[in-house]
Chains A and B, each alone.
Chain A
C-alpha cells in the first residue's frame, strides 16, 4: 500500500465532513417527536429502506424530476451527481484490480493514477477488465466536466436553463463553489500530466492530452504533475470542510430527507427537525422562482421558496418574506426535492405570531345541534357569494336529501384562515367548537361549498364521517340518478381552486361534473398547474395592486379561448375573478342548479 503526504487534505476534509454529518443526523433524530422517532425503529429491516434507496437513485443521482421540469438543468445536476457517483464506484473497482484487496484506504481509488502507472493497458483498450475501467474513468470524467461547463454557462446565461433569475450566493457558498469547480479540472490536469510525464498509464483522453502537454511544455515533469495532485486533494478537502456550511449541504441532506420521507416523516405546520432537513435539502435550483405568480405577475422576486428557505437557514427571517406569499402550493408542486414549502411558510408564521393573544372564550356557548343525515356547510366565503348556497339548497331540495344547513345563520369559521396565518392555537379552538356541532348532529356526511373549509375539515378535524366537497357530492347524486339534468351546452373554462386541486387532489370530479352539463374548453395551465386566482387568504402582506396583477395574469389563462363562462368551485375564486373578469364567473353548483328542470308544484310535471 502506498501513501503520500498530498492525500492529507482530502483525508482530513473527509473525516471532518463525516463527523459533522453524523453529529447533525443524531441531533435531528434526537429532536424529532417521539412519534416520528418510532417510525424509524428497525429501519434497516424495513422494506421502506429499499424504496428510499430507489428514490435516492432516481432523485439524488439521476434527478429525474428536475429533468422533467427542465432537461438542461436536470442534465447539469445529473452529470455532477451521477457522474461523480459512478467515478467513485468505478474507481473503487479499478483500484481493487491493483491492490488485490477488498478494502482500500478511501484516498487510494481517488488518487489511483498517482500511485499506479500500468504500462500494459493501452488507452483505447476496452475489452479487458483493466482497460475497460481505464477507458470508463476517462469517459466519466468528461461526463462530469460537461456538467461543469453547463454550470459555468448557467451563471451568465440562466435564461438558457429556463430560469429568469438565479439565486444569490453567500461567502461560504462562494468558497465551496470555487473548490467544487476546481476539483475535476484539477483531477484532469493531474492525471494528464502524470500520464504525459510517464508516457503511459493514462486513459484515452488523459494519455493523449498528457502527451500533447509533455510535448508543448518541456518543463512538464513529474514534480509539476505532483503539484496538481496537491491542488486536487486541497480542493476536495476544502470543499468537504465548507460543504456543511454551504448550499452543498443539500447533497447529503436530501438523501436523509428521502429516507425519512419514505418512513412517513413529513414537515407539518409546526416546527420540527424535518423542517430544517428540508431547508438544508434545497439545492437552490430556482425552479420555484419562475413558477411563482408573485414573481411573474407582480414582479416581486425576492420572496420565493428558495429565498424564504435561505432566510430561515441563515436565521434572517423577516416579516416580509414570511407573509408575502399566496401559500398557493405551486412551488411545492414543482419542487424537485419535494420540499413542503406551504407548511414551511405556515410553521414560520406560527413562530412569528406566538406572542399575540386572542380570546375565544365567547365560543363556549353550548349549541344544541339539530339532527340530520347530511350536513351542508357553506362556509363564510360562500355567504359573500349567496348564489352558491342558494344553488346548493335548491339542488339538495330537488334531490330530496334530508339535510341540515349548519351555518345558515352563519357560524364559527372553519379555522383555515387562522392556520394560514400561522395562528395554530387559535385555529384549534375554532375547530373544537365546530366539531361539536358537526358530530352532535349525527350526520354521516358533511358537504361543503368551500375548498378552504374542505381542506381543513379533511386534514385537521379528524372527523369519522364522510367529508365531501360539493363537486364530489353533486357528481355522486347525478351518478345515483337522483338529479335529472338538462344539459345546456355552453362553452366553459374550468378553473381549479388551489385548495381543491393542488391542495386536496380533487381534479377529476369537478371536470366530470362540468362535462355532464356543459362543454369545457382546454386551457393552458390546468389541474395541478392551475394558477392561483390571487384572492388567497394565505397572502398576508400585499397591496391591492399586487393582488390585482396576480388575478389578471391568472384570468389570462382562461380568456382568449372561446369560453363563454368561467367556472370554478370556490367562492373566493369566484369573488376574486368577478372583480376583473369580462366573462361571467359561476360556481359549478350554480351550473348544476341551472340545469335542473323546473318541476310544477301541483302536477309534478317537468316544465322546461
Chain B
C-alpha cells in the first residue's frame, strides 16, 4: 500500500517537495490557498544572480506536477487532526484529506512597508517597494519607468523592515541587498542617464556571483552606494521625495531629492504559518520563523513526528537554496515513510 504525504503551500518549496516525493513513488496531495501555484516566484521578473526569467524556473517546477499529485487550489485549511500516526487536514468547504506525513511549505510574507511610516509608503506618490518594481518590470517589459524622461534620480533603500529594532525585526533578510543591486542595474539599462543611489548599512553579498554583481554595478553602471540609514522621507509639492540620511562614511548629514524611492522590503513570517504551527504545536524562534528540530542535522524535521518543514517559513532564502531545501525535505519524508525515521 503506498504512503501519502500532504504538502501545504504551493510555492517553490512546496512544488519541488511535491515533485520529488512523487518521483519517489509517494502519493502527494498539494494544498495551495491561492488560485495558482508558484508563490512569490510568480511575482518576480528576472532573477538574480544571472537574471534569467522567473518563468523558466516556474516551468521546470510545473513539469513536476504530474498525475500522481492531487492538487487543491483555493483551499483554506480550517483544522488539522492527528490519530494513530495519520493526519487529517480539514478544509473550509468540509473536505477531509488524510496522509501519513505532513510538509509545511507556507513560505513568507513581504514586510508591510506602511509600518515604516517615516518612509512614506502608501502616503507619498513616488515611494514604491522592490516587489512593486518587479511587478512593473513583469507587466511592462523594457519600458521606461518615467515615460520618456531619462535623467531622473532614483533612491533605493536597503533593510526596510529588516535589521530594524524599531519594527521588531532584528534579522537580515539576506536577499534584498542583491535584489537592490539587480534592480539598480535594470533601471540603469532602461534609463542610461538616471542617477541611482543605494542607501545601505552594509552590503551582504554573501552568495556566489553576488559580490561580482556589486562591482559591476559600481564600475560598469556607475551606481552610487551611500552608507547610512535613511532617517525619514518627505514629499515635496512637486511630488519628488526629499530623503534624509547620514552618510556614515563621511559623517555628514545628507539631504537629497529623488524622483522615485524604492524600498527593499524584507521577509517576515506569515500569520498563516503561525496559525498552522499553532495547530501542530511547532516551535518558533526569536525571529518568529519556524525552527526545525536540529538546525545542523535535521533541518527539515520537527519535534512533531511526521511533520516536516521546507522553504522560507524557516527564514529568508533564495530560490536556489529553497530548491535544495525542498529536495532535502523530500528525502527526509521518504525516509520517514519507508523506515519510520524522522
Interface residues of chain A, those whose CB is within 8 Å of chain B, are 383-387, 390, 544, 548, 574-575, 578-580
**Complex formed: what's the CA distance from A544 to B164 in Å?**
11
**Complex formed: what's the CA distance from A36 to B106 in Å?**
68
Is A384 touching B168 in the complex (CB atoms < 8 A)?
Answer: no
Is A386 touching B165 in the complex (CB atoms < 8 A)?
Answer: no
Chain B positions 118 through 149: 1 when the CB is less than 8 Å from some CB of chain A, otherwise 0: 10101110000000000000000000000000
Which A residues are in CB contact (< 8 Å) with B120?
Answer: 386
Which A residues are in CB contact (< 8 Å) with B123?
Answer: 386-387, 390
From B117, B166, B168, give the contact of A386 (CB < 8 A). Answer: B117
Q: Least Cβ distance of B141 to chain A in Å?
A: 33
The residue on B at minimum CB distance from A408 is: B234
Q: How many residues of B contact A (CB 8 A)?
A: 15
Given A579-B166, A579-B168; 9 other pairs, CB 8 A cutoff: A384-B117, A384-B232, A386-B117, A386-B124, A386-B233, A387-B122, A574-B117, A578-B115, A578-B117
Is B232 touching A544 in the complex (CB atoms < 8 A)?
Answer: no
Contact residues of B: prevailing secondary structure = mixed
Interface residues of chain B, those whose CB is within 8 Å of chain A, are 115, 117-118, 120, 122-124, 165-168, 232-235
**Complex formed: what's the CA distance from A579 to B115 in Å?**
7
Which A residues are in CB contact (< 8 Å) with B166?
Answer: 575, 579
**Complex formed: what's the CA distance from A512 to B168 in Å?**
34
**Complex formed: what's the CA distance from A544 to B169 in Å?**
11
The residue on B at minimum CB distance from A579 is: B168
7 cross-chain pairs, A with B, having the tightest CB-CB distances, nearest first: A384-B118, A385-B117, A579-B168, A387-B123, A386-B123, A386-B120, A544-B165
The residue on B at minimum CB distance from A391 is: B123
Which A residues are in CB contact (< 8 Å) with B235?
Answer: 386
**Complex formed: what's the CA distance from A528 to B257 in Å?**
44
**Complex formed: what's the CA distance from A387 to B124 in Å?**
9
The residue on A at minimum CB distance from B231 is: A384
Given A384-B232, A386-B235, A387-B123, verify A579-B117 contact (CB < 8 Å): no
Which B residues are in CB contact (< 8 Å) with A579?
Answer: 115, 166-168
The residue on A at minimum CB distance from B242 is: A409
From A383, A385, A548, give the contact of B168 (CB < 8 A). Answer: A548
Is A386 touching B234 in the complex (CB atoms < 8 A)?
Answer: yes
Is A383 touching B234 in the complex (CB atoms < 8 A)?
Answer: yes
Is B115 touching A387 in the complex (CB atoms < 8 A)?
Answer: no
21 contacts between A and B (CB under 8 A): A383-B118, A383-B232, A383-B234, A384-B117, A384-B118, A384-B232, A385-B118, A386-B233, A386-B234, A386-B235, A387-B122, A387-B123, A390-B123, A544-B165, A574-B117, A575-B166, A578-B117, A579-B115, A579-B166, A579-B168, A580-B168
Is A387 touching B168 in the complex (CB atoms < 8 A)?
Answer: no
Which B residues are in CB contact (< 8 Å) with A386?
Answer: 117-118, 120, 123-124, 232-235
Is A387 touching B167 in the complex (CB atoms < 8 A)?
Answer: no
Which B residues are in CB contact (< 8 Å) with A575?
Answer: 117, 166
Q: Least Cβ distance of B33 to chain A in Å?
A: 19
**Complex formed: what's the CA distance from A579 to B118 in Å?**
13
